[in-house]
Amino acid sequence: MIPPATTAVSPFVRLFGRYLREHGLPVTPQRQAVAEVVFSSTEHLSVDDIERKLREGGERIGKATIYRTLDLLVRSKLVAERDFNEGFKRYEHRLSRQPEHEHLICQRCGGVTEFKSEEIQAIQVHIAGRFGFRPTRHKLEIYGLCASCIAVGADLPSEGLTCPIETV
Ligand SMILES: [Zn+2]
Ligand SMILES: [Zn+2]
């Protein structure tokens, strides 16, 4: 009989524990704490966010352990790694939401909005079909300014040359 590791461990943390055991890796309270933070959030968390949330919960866990645990969470397929070109990765729980969702990323405040679109799903099938391609997954990220940033009059610097034909 395996005694329960801690009191209220979420089913996803238990699933992660199973993944670790199956791969001969130790199920440590630190790894469980990092997993719990990711699983209990619906946000797209950076390592800094995770470290802050752990500290707020009274846990002091080093960045190396957080990185290593996130790597294992991604390998277990329970957590998805996102790169929104901010210079660091973000992490989100894959099972708490629909697997196929798209992202709107605000380049001013860093806010990430999720949306789902049946049209995008249909276009994906259509385009892949045109090339005889069998799709497994896709990624759509729309960058720009969110409604709240536009409301306070924010603007983004020009990203460089525009099409010379348009500027004539
Ligand atoms: Zn914004
Ligand atoms: Zn997302």
54 vs 41, more confident: 54
Strand partners, 82: 90
Do 85 and 103 lie in one domain? The reply is no
Give the distance (Å) from ligand 2 centre to CA of residue 46.
13
- Considering 54, 74, 95, which residue would you say is the last residue of a domain? 95
Question: Is 85's pLDDT higher than 70?
Answer: yes
- 17 is in which domain, residue-wise? 6-95
Tell me which residue of 130, 30, 168, 42 sits closest to 94, measured CA to CA: 42
Question: Is 168's pLDDT higher than 70?
Answer: no
Task: Give pLDDT, residue 132.
Answer: 95
Give the distance (Å) from ligand 2 centre to CA of residue 94.
8
| Rounded distance between C-alpha atoms, residue 89 and residue 67, angstroms | 10
Do 89 and 12 lie in one domain? The reply is yes
108 vs 10, more confident: 108
Do 81 and 102 lie in one domain? The reply is no
- Region 47-69: mean pLDDT is 95
Which residues are close to ligand 2, an ion, with C-beta < 5 A?
92, 114
What pTM does this model have?
0.71
Number of domains in the chain: 2
| Rounded distance between C-alpha atoms, residue 71 and residue 91, angstroms | 10
Dig out the tokens for 96 from the structure.
């708490």
Determine the residue type at 126: H
